[in-house]
Chain A
Amino acid sequence: MKVHIPSALRSYTESSEAEASGATLGAVLADLDRRYAGIRFRMIDEQDRIRPHIRIFVNGDQVRDLVQPLRATDEVVIVQALSGG
Chain B
Amino acid sequence: MARNSGQTAGKKQGRATHARSVLVLVATRKGAWLYHSDATRSEWRADGPHFLGHTVNHLVLDPRDGRTLLAAAKTGHLGPTVFRSTDLGRTWKEAARPPAFAKAADGKEGRAVDHTFWLTPGHAGEPDVWYAGTSPQGLFRSQDGGVTWEPFSPINDDPQYRKWMGTVQDGTPDGPKLHSIIVDPRDRAHLYFAMSGGGVHESLDGGRTWVPLLKGLEVVEGFDRSEATFHDPHCIRLCPSNPDRLYQQNHCGIYRLDRPSDEWVRIGKSMPQPVGDIGFPMVVHPRDADAAWVFPMDGTSVWPRTSPEGMPAVYATRDGGKTWRRLDAGLPAKQAWWTVKRQAMTADAADPVGLYFGTTSGELWSSRDEGRRWTCIAQHLPEIYAVEAAEPA
* Cβ distance A32 to chain B, nearest Cβ, rounded Å: 14
Say whether A2 faces chain B, with CB atoms less than 8 Å apart. no
B263 in the interface (beta carbon within 8 A): no
Give the chain B neighbours of A49 by CB distance below 8 A. 112
Measured between alpha carbons, how far is A8 from B53 in the docked complex, in Å?
A: 10
Q: Report the bound CA distance from A53 to B103 in whole Å.
A: 21
Are the CB atoms of B77 and A82 closer together than 8 Å?
yes
Contact indicator B100/A41 (Cβ below 8 Å): yes
Q: Is the beta-carbon distance between B78 and A8 smaller than 8 angstroms?
A: yes
Q: Which residues of A contact B216 (CB under 8 A)?
A: none
**A16-73: which have CB < 8 Å to B?**
37-38, 41-49, 51, 53-54
| Chain A residue contacts of B104, Cβ below 8 A | 47
> How long is the Cα–Cα vector from A41 to B104 in the complex, in angstroms?
16
Q: Is the CB of A42 within 8 A of B103?
A: no
**Interface residue from A46, A48, A53 paired with B77 (Cβ < 8 Å):** A53
Q: Could you tell me if B100 and A46 are in contact, using CB atoms closer than 8 angstroms? A: yes
Q: Which residues of A contact B100 (CB under 8 A)?
A: 41, 45-46
- Residues 67-102 of B, flagged 1 when their CB comes within 8 A of A and 0 if not, give 000000001111101000000000000111010111
Contacts of B102 in A (CB 8 A): 46
Set of chain B residues within 8 Å of A47, measured between Cβ atoms: 101, 103-104, 110-112
Cβ 8 A contact of A46, one of B76, B94, B112: B112
Task: Give Cα distance in the complex from A55 to B111, angstroms.
Answer: 20
**Is the beta-carbon distance between B111 and A80 smaller than 8 angstroms?**
no
Pair B77/A54 contact, Cβ less than 8 Å: yes
Chain A residues with CB below 8 A from B75, complex form:
8
Inter-chain contact A80/B77, CB cutoff 8 Å: yes
Asked if residues A84 and B101 are in contact (CB atoms below 8 Å), the reply is no
B113 near A51: Cβ-Cβ < 8 Å:
no
The size of the chain B interface, using a CB distance under 8 A, is: 19
Known: A45-B112, A46-B103. A51 touches B78 (CB 8 A): yes
Question: Shortest distance in angstroms between A34's beta carbon and chain B's nearest beta carbon?
Answer: 13
Per-residue A-contact encoding for B108-128, CB less than 8 Å = 1, 0 else? 001111000000000000000
- Other-chain contact of B76, A43, A45, A48, A53 (Cβ < 8 Å): A53
Q: Is A41 in contact with B112, judged by CB distance below 8 angstroms?
A: no
Chain B residues with Cβ below 8 Å from A51 are 77-79
* Complex contact B79–A45 (CB within 8 A): yes
Docked-complex contact B98 and A41, CB < 8 angstroms:
yes
Q: Which chain B residues border A54 with CB–CB below 8 Å? A: 77-78
> With A37-B96, A47-B103, A47-B104 in contact, is A42–B112 under 8 Å at CB?
no
Cβ contact of A8, chosen from B77, B103, B111, cutoff 8 A: B77
Q: In whole angstroms, what is the CA distance A51 to B53 when docked?
A: 18
Contacts of B111 in A (CB 8 A): 47
Give complex CA distance A47, B100 in Å. 9
Q: Which residues of A contact B94 (CB under 8 A)?
A: 38
B101 / chain A contacts, CB cutoff of 8 Å: 46-47
CB proximity of A13 to chain B, nearest CB, Å: 13
* 7 residue pairs, one from A and one from B, having the closest CB atoms: A45-B112, A47-B110, A42-B78, A46-B100, A80-B77, A53-B77, A82-B76
Q: List 11 A-B contacts (CB under 8 A).
A: A8-B75, A38-B81, A41-B81, A41-B98, A46-B110, A46-B112, A46-B113, A47-B111, A47-B112, A51-B78, A54-B78
